[in-house]
Amino acid sequence: MHKYQPRTFTPSLGIIIPCYNEEDVFPMLIDELQKFADSLDNEVSFLIVDDGSRDRTWQMACEISEKDPRFGCIRFSRNFGHQTAVSAGLKHITGDVVAVIDADLQDPPHVIKDMIDKWFEGYDVVYGVRANRKEGILLRTAYSVFYRMMRKVANIDVPLDAGDFSLMDRRVVDHINAMPEHNRFVRGLRGWVGFSQAGVEYERSARAAGEPKYDLKKLFKLAMDGIITFSSMPLRIAVWVGTLSAVLGFLFLIYVIVLALFYQETPSGWASTVVLLLFMGGIQLLILGIIGEYIGRIFEEVKDRPIFVVSEKAGWVEEQDIVKERHQTY
Ligand code: UDP
Ligand code: MG
Distance, CA of 86 to CA of 109 (rounded, Å): 17
Give residue 26's Cα distance to chain centre: 23
C-alpha atoms less than 13 angstroms from C-alpha of 319 in its C-beta half-sphere: 7
Atom of ligand 1 nearest to the CA of 22: 11
207: nearest Cα among 82, 126, 108, 111: 108
Cβ burial, residue 16 (10 Å; 0-12/13-18/19+): buried
Give the largest Cα separation in the chain, rounded.
93
Query: What pLDDT sits at residue 1?
Result: 45
DSSP 75-128: EESS---HHHHHHHHHHH--SSEEEE--TTSSS-TTHHHHHHHHHHHT-SEEEE
The two beta strands, 125-132 and 97-100, are unpaired
Tell me phi and psi for residue 160, to 5 degrees. -65, 135
To test ligand 1's pocket by mutation, which of 22, 87, 166, 213 has the most ligand atoms within 8 angstroms of CB? Answer: 213
To test ligand 1's pocket by mutation, which of 102, 185, 222 has the most ligand atoms within 8 angstroms of CB? Answer: 102
Query: What pLDDT sits at residue 4?
Result: 66
Distance, CA of 157 to CA of 148 (rounded, Å): 11
How confident is the prediction along the chain (330 residues), in pLDDT tens digits per residue?
Answer: 455 678 888 899 999 999 999 999 999 999 999 999 999 998 999 999 999 999 999 999 999 999 999 999 999 999 999 999 999 999 999 999 999 999 998 889 999 999 999 999 989 999 998 887 666 777 778 777 777 777 777 666 667 677 899 999 999 999 999 988 888 888 888 988 888 888 888 888 777 777 777 777 888 888 888 888 877 778 888 888 888 888 888 888 888 888 888 887 766 777 778 878 888 888 888 888 888 888 988 998 898 888 899 999 988 888 776 555 554 545
Cβ burial, residue 17 (10 Å; 0-12/13-18/19+): buried
Distance, CA of 161 to CA of 158 (rounded, Å): 9
> Which run of H or E residues covers position 132?
strand 125-132
Query: What is the whole-number distance in angstroms between the Cα of residue 292 and the centre of ligand 2?
Result: 31
CB 18 within 8 A of CB 49: yes
Query: What pLDDT sits at residue 328?
Result: 54
Q: 81 CB less than 6 Å from ligand 1? A: yes
The two beta strands, 310-315 and 71-76, are antiparallel
Q: 22 CB less than 6 Å from ligand 1? A: yes
Superfamily of domain 13-219+306-329: Spore Coat Polysaccharide Biosynthesis Protein SpsA; Chain A (3.90.550.10)
Give residue 270's Cα distance to chain centre: 49
Distance, CA of 74 to CA of 46 (rounded, Å): 11
Please report, for the chain, the start and end positions of each structural domain, with discontinuous segments joined by +.
13-219+306-329, 233-303
Distance, CA of 280 to CA of 278 (rounded, Å): 6
315: nearest Cα among 15, 88, 96, 67: 67
Give residue 202's Cα distance to chain centre: 19
Query: What is the whole-number distance in angstroms between the Cα of residue 223 and the centre of ligand 1?
Result: 15
What angle, 0 to 180 degrees and rounded to 10, lies between the N-to-C axes of helices 170-178 and 186-193?
110
Q: 213 CB less than 6 Å from ligand 1? A: yes
Tell me phi and psi for residue 19, to 5 degrees. -130, 130
What is the chain's alpha carbon radius of gyration, rounded to the nearest angstrom? Answer: 25
